[in-house]
Amino acid sequence: MARTQAVDYEERREAIVEKAADLFAARGFLGASVSDIAKACNTSKSLLYHYYPSKEDVLYAVMSSHIDRLVEDVETAHQAGDDARSRLRHVLRLFMQDYVGAAARQKVLLNDLENLPEDRRVGIVAKQRRIVDAIQAMLVEITPALAANKAEARARTMLLFGMINWTGNWYDASGPIKPDAIADMALDMVAR
């Protein structure tokens, strides 16, 4: 007889992802075992496998939940319909809010992509490229001369991501500078 799904099935899956993200961020994917995840969730390995068939499935859930949120941020900014600078400022502020609220997931996305099975890694990378291309398009709209210099446009785009993607390594959300200000500073540095 098949096991029935608990009423709080999705909440439990999300709790597993949250704990796993913290473990993977602290120890790396290879440094955290399924037993470690189960212990952090106060559950058994067998129950953990009820929610996720493998550790790689948990890793994928950590990454996909985060990258999907970033894709939503880009779509939200595009729907705002403002000029390119305002849209880019809006999406960067959303990114920073996400990075602060999901610092462990961001760290896992940046550090453990190679541990995903290739078919799943390809999907995550495709979403990352969509995000990068959307940000680059906004930068080109802000600075039209970049349209003729694709290498510089990509360099500015990647510099922007370099600035904001790694804020989790040094940024203190309880400090005097708020996430929106960090986003604004990064934008002002790359978009003249």
User: Model confidence at 4, in pLDDT bands (50, 70, 90)?
Assistant: low
* Domain containing residue 133: CATH number: 1.10.357.10
- Classify residue 30: in a domain, yes or no: no
- Classify residue 172: in a domain, yes or no: yes
- Classify residue 144: in a domain, yes or no: yes
**Which domain covers residue 123, as residue numbers?**
55-190
- Classify residue 26: in a domain, yes or no: no
The DSSP secondary-structure symbol of 144 reads G
- What pLDDT, in 10s, does the model give residues 67-120? 999 999 999 998 887 899 999 999 999 999 998 888 899 999 999 999 999 999
pLDDT of 37: 96
User: Model confidence at 9, in pLDDT bands (50, 70, 90)?
Assistant: confident
- Classify residue 161: in a domain, yes or no: yes
pLDDT of 5: 66
pTM as predicted: 0.90
CA-wise closest residue to 67 among 32, 109, 17: 109
pLDDT of 8: 82
Dihedral sign (CA 50, 55, 60, 63): positive
Whose tokens are 């961001």? That residue is: 106
- Classify residue 101: in a domain, yes or no: yes
Q: Average pLDDT for residues 34-52, to the nearest whole number?
A: 94
- Classify residue 14: in a domain, yes or no: no
- Classify residue 43: in a domain, yes or no: no
> How many domains does the chain fold into?
1
